[in-house]
Structure 1
Amino acid sequence: MARILDLHLHSEASDDSRAPVEAYLKWLARKRDERPLEGLVLTEHRQFNKAGDYRDLEDKYGLLILKASEVETDYGHVLVYGVNDDIINRFDFKNVRLPAQEVISEVARMGGIAMPCHPGRPTIGLIEHYQTRPPLEGVTGVEALNGGSKKGENERVAELIDTYGYHAFGGSDSHLVSFIGLCATEFDRDIQTIEDLVETLRTGGYRPVDFRQQRPQAATPV
C-alpha cells in the first residue's frame, strides 16, 4: 500500500535514461528521510514495458512499482496510466504526433487515464498549444509539479488549473537516479494496484508534493 508516489520517471528502458530500476530503489532506501516515497510509476518514453516484472524488487525494498507510458501528441507529452492490450492495439506509441484528443478520449473509454505532463514547458507542454488551439475535452488533471522543469515552467501551471478546474499531481520526471522523488503525489487513500491509481486520478483526492529543498547539483562538465 502506498500514499506518496512519484508518478513520472524513466528507467533504462527509455532511450534517454541510464537508470536501472533497482538503483532507484537503493537510492530511496538511503534517502527515505528526504524523499519519503512509498511507490513509483515507471513512465517509459513512447512505449509500454509490458515484459517488465518488478515483483521481486517490490518485496525486497517494500515499495510499490507500477508501469505506465509517456507518449507524444499534437498537444505535447501525455502520461498514460492503466495501459492495457486494447490501448496498445489502438495507438502506435512510437508515433510522436499522436492526436491528443483521441488519446484522452479513447484511453478513458478503454479503462485508463491520460494526463498531460510538464504543461508549462515550451513546445511539448499543454499551455503553449492552448494559446492557439481549443482546449482538450476530458482532461481531469495535469502535472503541476515536475522535478525536471526549468524556472517558471511549473509556475505557469497554476493559472491553467484555475481556469479549467484540473486536478494537480506531481512527478520527478527523473532520468537520473538521484533525481527520483524530487516531486511526487500524495493520495488520500492507499494505492495498491494500477486500477486503484487510475480510479483515484479520475476522481480526485490527491495533491502534488515538493521535496526539492535539497535538489542534487548537476555535475560540472569536464
Structure 2
Amino acid sequence: MHVKILDESVVERAKSRGIDVLVYAPHFTRLPTIQQRAEQFSDDELTVVPAREIFAGPWHDRRHVLAVDLSQPIPDFITLEGAMQELDRQQATVLVPHPEFLTVSLDRAQIDRYSDVIDGVEAYNPKHLSWHNRRASEITRKSDRPAFTSSYAHLLTTVGEAWTTFDRPINAPEDLTAALRSGNPQLRHRTGATHRVRCLAEFAHLGWENTWEKFDRVVRSGMEPTHPGHVAYGGRFDDVRVDRHGVLG
C-alpha cells in the first residue's frame, strides 16, 4: 500500500512475496514522473499504482497525506486545509499514513476534521515502534475509517513485511479506490525476530533520512520539483503555499 522505492529489485522482491499491487509514492517527485515509473514497472504480475505523499504545512510541522488516483499534480508545502480542499475537488483517494507519529502526521483532531475526505487510516507501519502501532490502531478504530497497513518501504528488505488484502482483484488505481472504500480491507504483517530487525532498520533509516537526506533536498536545493512555487504548478497554489518556516505566501 505504500513504498518509497521502485526498481527491478523491488519488483522482484514484491513478486516473490506474493504482492499483487504496489502503491508508489516517493518524496519530492512530481506526479508525471511517478506515473511514468509506475507504468514502466507494471506488468501482468504486478500493478504499480502512482501516488503522492504530500507534505502539508511547513517543514518543522509537516503533515503527511497519501493521495491515490490524482488527476492533477499537487505540490508540497501548502496548508493542510488547502491540500484537503484540492484532494476533495479531485475526488482522490485520501489516506493517513502513520497517524500521530513524531511531528510528521495527522493527529486525531485533524483526522476527525477531515473525515469526510479521508478514505483510510494506517493502523500498522514497520517504521513504528510497538507503542506507535498500538496508538495507530486505536486512532484508526476511533476514526471509523477503513484501516490499512503498508511496508512503507524505504529499504528493499522491508518490501512485503506488511500488506493489506482485499476481497476483489485490483488491476488499476480506480480498482484500489473502490476496494479501499468498500472492499473490507484486512491487515497482515510478518512476525518474528527477522521482522523486528527489519522494522528497526526502517526506524533507524528515519533518523538518517531526516538529519541529512531531506535537509539536503529541501533546505539546500532551494526549489525542489514539488515546491509550490515551481513553474510546473503555474501559480495555482500561491494562495495556500507556505514557506519552510510556516509563513503564508
TM bucket (normalised to shorter chain) is 0.7 to 0.9
The worse-fitting range, judged by mean Cα deviation, of 174-183 and 150-159 is 150-159
Q: What's the counterpart of residue 179 of structure 1?
A: 158
Determine what percentage of the aligned residue pairs are the same residue.
Answer: 24
1:1-222 mapped onto 2 (5 Å cutoff): 7-11=1-5, 20-29=6-15, 32=16, 35-51=17-33, 52-55=36-39, 57-59=41-43, 62-74=45-57, 76-85=63-72, 88=73, 91=74, 93-95=75-77, 98-127=78-107, 130=109, 135-138=113-116, 139-213=118-192, 214-215=194-195, 216-217=197-198, 218=201
Task: Tell me: CA distance 1:26–1:164, structure 2 relative to 1, closer, same or farther (3 Å).
Answer: closer
Question: What's the C-alpha RMSD, in Å, of the aligned pairs?
Answer: 2.7
**Are residues 101 and 56 of structure 1, via their aligned partners in 2, closer, same or farther at CA, if it must alter by over 3 Å?**
closer
Q: Unpaired runs of 5+ in structure 1?
A: 1-6, 12-19
Deviation at 1:173, TM superposition (A): 0.9
Name the structure where strand makes up a greater proportion of residues. Answer: 1
Q: Deviations over 1:158-194 (max 9, x none)?
A: 2222322111001111111111121111111111101
One-letter identity of the residue aligned with 1:80: A
Structure 1 counterpart of 2:101, one-letter code? R
How much does 1:9 deviate?
0.8
Distance 1:173 1:202 in 2: 21
Q: Is the 2:168–2:183 contact (alpha carbons within 8 Å) kept by the matching residues of 1?
A: no
Q: Which has the higher contact order (CA 8 A, sep 6+)?
A: 1
Q: CA deviation at 1:68?
A: 0.5
Q: Which has the higher helix share?
A: 2
Q: TM-score, normalised by structure 2?
A: 0.67
SS at match of 1:140: strand
Superposed displacement of residue 134, structure 1: 6.5
CA, structure 1 residues 110+8, in 2 after alignment: closer, same or farther (shift >3 Å)? same
Paired residues, what number? 192
Q: CA deviation at 1:198?
A: 1.6
AA partner of residue 80 (structure 2): A
Query: What CA distance in whole angstroms lies between the structure 2 residues aligned with 1:42 and 1:169?
Result: 15
Gapped runs of 5+ residues in structure 2? 205-249
One-letter code aligned to 1:58: S
Structure 1 Cα separation of the partners of residues 171 and 12 of structure 2 = 21
TM (norm. structure 1) is: 0.75
**SS of aligned partner of 2:25:** strand
